[in-house]
Amino acid sequence: MKNYINMLKPDDSSTPDEIKSRYRELVKKNHPDIFPQERRREQNLILMEINEAYLSLLNNSYATAKEYGEIRAESGSLPVVHREPDYVYYRSAIDHLNRGNYIFNWSRYLPVNHRYHFDVRKSSLLKTATEAIECYRLAYSLFLKVCTGYPSSVWVTDSMDKLDLIEKLNERYSEIIERLTGS
């Protein structure tokens, strides 16, 4: 798997316009719609990784973005113990999907005078979108593993539905990124 952070920002002297240009090139080159139907799910996963890398750079979290591979490897671990590996992947994917939904839908509410206010600052939206996309990307890869690695599993049908849902969420977050950054 490629490190898209380094592809978007190969050196520290890269300007935001250069990063945006590289981002657009990668999105055009890897967009799922230009690939045959059988490769679209894999390409959608790659597009999620590109979006995640771009959001990391937009949030000025380049120091943490450098550790992208290490963080991804750690968070992609499978904490569920079960005798059926398809269930382990499915359950871990559900956990990541739920975490992504929680991050974007509920973590932006701020308590002010014992009331909750929705935080709509650009920096807050970009930060939560970045965290949610990371969770969705992990969930997508795990659901995809259930579908491709265990085609006779009872979890395949629901995993396929969840893959479709995550694709729609990815489209929504891509639109949010475009609107907030003018990309």
Given a contact cutoff of 8 angstroms between Cβ atoms, the answer to whether 183 and 164 are in contact is no
Which parts of 31-155 fold into alpha helices (H)?
40-58, 62-66, 68-75, 85-106, 122-149
pLDDT (0 to 100) of residue 112: 67
Instruction: Express each pLDDT in 120-130 by its tens digit.
Output: 667 777 777 77
| pLDDT band with cut points at 50, 70 and 90 for residue 144 | very high
Q: How far apart are the first and last CA of the chain?
A: 25
**6 versus 71: which is more confidently predicted?**
6
Instruction: Express each pLDDT in 77-104 by its tens digit.
Output: 444 445 678 888 898 899 999 998 888 7
Instruction: Express each pLDDT in 1-56 by its tens digit.
Output: 467 677 777 777 778 888 888 888 888 888 888 888 888 888 888 887 887 788 77
